[in-house]
Structure 1
Amino acid sequence: MIHPDRPLRIALFTYSTRPRGSVIHTLELAEALHQQGHIVCVYALDKEGQGFGRDLSCSYHLIPALPVQGGVDYLIRQRIQEVVIFLDNDPLQDGSYDIYHAQDCITANALILLRDQSKIPSVVRTVHHVEAYNSPYLRECQDRSIDRPDLCLCVSQHWQQAVQQQYQIRPDRVINGVKGDRFSPVSTVRQAQIQQTFGLYGSPIYLTVGGIEPRKNSILLLKAFAQVLSDQPQAQLVIAGGATLFDYQSYRDEFFARVQALEIEIGRSLVLPGVVSDADLPALYRSANAFVFPSTKEGWGLVVLEAIAAGLPVLTANRPPFTEFLTTGQAVLVDPEDVGAIAQGMLELSQPAVAQRLVQASQPILQHYTWERSAHLHVAAYRKLLRAKP
């Protein structure tokens, strides 16, 4: 039996080193757990061989993710095996960890294989959201990654209920957080450099983070922006990010065909900076006038918290999980399938009085979502698992 007060040895696993929501969640959780005195190590599949692009106070291991010949099913199989092989040859495994915690389907499947071979004691899995995969193999991997762990966690009430209904599992609830000091609205020298680098001189500048892909609702956002341009010809839409495991090329092709048909000039009205470094992201938020995120499916929407911390008025979808922490007094909530509503909402955000009211009303949200609190909730869940399965 582990003494209830002794620090835990925790291994956190993520499928990438690129700045996606669950990856950032992993790194920030690791830092917060480390600051609370626990022994933490992050394991991450690293495709580019460039690491996280940020310093970590805790230990970490980068798992080489080699090129794949074949479709997405082959990709997932290979990535699972790369994690298994790496851990089988990890000299630190001799000391083992108390907790093996996966933040995604890939690393969860790898840990389940190792647990079933009695090489690790148990598996924790955070389900950020459930995907509707077309591939039977991917559906099987996702189902196994949710149904087979010893402990399941969710960051939102919406997905907690969805997992309970679909899998008859009651996940423990944890939360996301945000570093208010990192994303504060205070201007910096780097902000001016970012504006110059990307040509951010629009009036107003609408920012979204997450790249061009279906669940980010990029095409409908683009159509809405085309309507906004008729009222605000100097406006700019900045779509940052884009690192993803899956190939959305057909959707991207349709997006750029719409750009051409709508005669929106890339580099002037539409700015596509791609993946922005971790160090530059706060300055990019500060360079914008409003944050627009009419996503159709999110585990939580970590970027929304970051935008609020940066002092931006926010537009997002009028559906969970956003409505779990935002009201109509704190953000412009719109039907993400309604182009006209998105456009009208964007125009509302550009009104100084509306923007000021939303920013002021949304700031109190931040005190409820800190990584320190998230770490405490995780430790409570970990210790419950350890008591149940010593």
Structure 2
Amino acid sequence: MTGLRIAILTHSTNPRGGVAHCLALGEALCALGHEAVVHAPDPTGRGFFRDAACPTLPVAAEAVAGKTVAGKTVDLVRARIYDYLRHFATPAACDFDVFHAHDGIGGNALATLKHRRLIPGFARTVHHVDSFSDPMLAEWQDRAIREATRLLCVSRLWADWIRDDLGAAAEVVGNGVDLSAFRPEPEAADATLRIRLGLGPGPVVLSVGGFEERKNTAGIIAAFARLRAVHPQAQLVVAGGASLLDHTSYRARCRAALAAAGLEVGHGLAVIETGPVPQADMAGLYRVADVLAFPSWKEGFGLCVLEAMACGTPAIVSRQPPFTEYLAADDALFVDPADPDGIARAMAAALTPEVRAGLRAAGLKRAAFHAWRACAERHLDAYAGCARVRPEPIHA
């Protein structure tokens, strides 16, 4: 396929798994000879959370003020859809061969542009599907899937959901990991990072995604409290957490659970909350951790699992899809996400030398199978099915 101009739309410039996926996909497509431009609403004006080897376009976005939590989320999503519609209001801004949305915000904007006949259609990657109590949010999520010309998923789990619930076909394109950025070899900056976070002798348990219900942070806290009974110097690092959705009530539940367990939060204490982590520090954060705890309730793929494995860090994951799709039985420690005792046992097992060595070797091998180039190549058939047909040049 000759070089395509591809507009990739994501919901945010912040370090979330879907945003990281879009930037890496854009880089891989550019390496294949296409021009992929990653777009995202950018109310801060700071741009994307990391530099990228592909063009990026932070879209001007308005600040949003809401009176209630639910109202604020609806107002925010509506504003971000309108941000995209303003940006793509001219033919010049729509001068792409392919439009590819990765969430409901971009998907709704592209659906409207399709109805206005400004674009021919669009591809949509469904990373996962949320359960919204607000009917407007639910309708936007549904429309962004139903209106797409071609549907893609990062895992078979969600492709099957689309087939069973919507009666539509979706292709599985998978995910990837940048092995040049995520490496097992220690770096001098790792020691500096330990000091900056206030890490002691450990062991160190890493949780990625902030205090969020689908990440099962409460389950991780309950398991970590059990681990501390055996390893009193253990520390839990809760990294990330940038989200368009409001997790205030769940965060309060987690804070109450920490207080009840006598686990203090702060620099050098039992629990360290980092907030969003600079991209330059992520590989080091995986390396200074003894284990990644990721027993999520719901995931599209779980990109941080591959990143941790590429850095030589053992991973604990839920014994359910999508993890059971791309991981073999010996690649990680599989647990029931509803069983804090089982998660605690997995944490303890990951610290034993024999288990740790086996997981490290298996994880490095598994990560090497997931190259971004192969992932990008799997997108090309879908792009061909929704690309703009440009007129042939007229020769005198």
Q: Is the 8 A contact 1:43 1:61 kept in 2?
A: yes
The equivalent residue for 1:143 is 142
1:261 is matched with 260
- Counterparts of 1:269 and 1:374 in 2: how far apart (Å)? 39
- Work out the CA distance in 2 between the residues paired with 1:120 and 1:383: 15
Change (3 A) 1:90 1:273: farther
Q: Which residue of 2 aligns with 1:153?
A: 152
Determine the C-alpha separation between the residues in 2 that align with 1:299 and 1:29.
16
Q: 1:269 to 1:53 in 2, by over 3 A?
A: same
2:295 corresponds in structure 1 to 294
Instruction: Kindly indicate whether the alpha-carbon contact (under 8 Å) linking 1:151 and 1:385 is maintained by their aligned counterparts in 2.
Output: yes
Q: 1:242 to 1:319 in 2, by over 3 A?
A: same
Shift of 1:389: 11
Structure 1 partner of 2:20: 24
Corresponding residue of 1:126: 125
Match of 1:172 in 2: 171
Residue of structure 2 in register with 1:186 after alignment: 185
Compared CA separation, residues 32 and 340, structure 1 to 2 (3 A):
same
Q: Check whether the contact 1:19–1:243 (CA below 8 A) recurs between aligned residues.
A: yes
Secondary structure at 1:333 match in 2: strand
Contact 2:10–2:19, Cα closer than 8 Å, also in 1: yes
SS at match of 2:52: coil
SS at 1:308 equivalent: helix
Native 8 Å contact 2:349 2:355 kept in 1 = yes
CA contact (8 A) 1:174 1:378 kept: yes
Report the counterpart of residue 37 of structure 1 in structure 2.
33
2:239–2:276 contact (8 Å) kept in structure 1? yes
Indicate the residue corresponding to 2:383 in structure 1. Answer: 382
| 1-structure distance, mates of 2:185, 2:360 | 14
Determine the C-alpha separation between the residues in 1 that align with 2:109 and 2:166.
Answer: 20
Provide the C-alpha distance between the structure 2 equivalents of 1:85 and 1:259, rounded to a whole number of angstroms: 44
Shift of 1:179: 1.1
Q: Distance in 2 between matches of 1:337 and 1:249?
A: 22
- Among 4, 7, 12, the alignment partner of 1:11 is 7
| Residue number in structure 1 paired with 2:218 | 219
Aligned partner of 1:57 among 48, 53, 58: 53
Q: Which runs of 5+ in 1 are unaligned?
A: none
Aligned-partner Cα distance in 1 for 2:389–2:117 = 17
Distance 2:326 2:389 in 1: 32
**C-alpha contact (below 8 Å) 2:263/2:271 kept by paired residues:** yes
Shift of 1:388: 10
Deviation at 1:330, TM superposition (A): 1.5
Residues 175, 303 of structure 2: 8 Å contact kept: yes
Q: In 2, distance between residues paired with 1:46 and 1:385? A: 27
Structure 2 Cα separation of the partners of residues 283 and 362 of structure 1: 17
Q: What is the alpha-carbon distance in structure 2 between the residues aligned to residue 325 and residue 124 of structure 1?
A: 24
Does 2:246 align with 1:247? yes
Letter in 1 for 2:372: W
Which digits, 9 at most, give the CA deviation of each residue in 1:218-272, with x for residues without a partner? 1111011001000000111111001001111111111111111111122311111
Partners of 1:242 and 1:29 lie apart in 2 by 22
Separation (CA, whole Å) in 2 of partners of 1:347 and 1:233 = 12
* Offset of residue 90 of structure 1: 7.4
Matches within 5 A, 1:222-371: 222-267=221-266, 268-371=269-372
| TM-score normalised by length of structure 2 | 0.94
3-state DSSP of counterpart to 1:337: coil
Distance between the aligned counterparts of 1:249 and 1:116, measured in 2?
Answer: 36
User: In the alignment, is the contact (CA less than 8 A) between 1:16 and 1:47 conserved in 2?
Assistant: no
5+ long unaligned stretches in structure 2? 392-396
2:56 is matched by which residue type in structure 1?
A: Y
Give the drift of 1:76: 1.3
Report the alpha carbon displacement of residue 73 of structure 1 after superposing the two structures with TM: 1.4
Q: In 2, Cα distance between the equivalents of 1:202 and 1:241?
A: 23
**In structure 2, C-alpha distance between the alignment counterparts of 1:40 and 1:213, rounded to whole Å:** 31
Q: How many aligned residue pairs are there?
A: 384
1:129-184, CA deviations, whole angstroms, 9 ceiling, x for partnerless residues? 11111011111111111111101100101111011111101101101000122111
Tell me, in whole angstroms, the C-alpha distance in 2 between the residues paired with 1:160 and 1:203: 40
TM-score, length basis structure 1: 0.95
Between the aligned partners of 1:69 and 1:25, the Cα distance in structure 2 is 29
Q: Tell me, what secondary structure is at the counterpart of 1:11?
A: strand
SS at match of 2:88: helix
Distance 1:368 1:202 in 2: 33
1:315/1:331 contact within 8 Å kept: yes
**CA shift at 1:53, angstroms?**
3.1
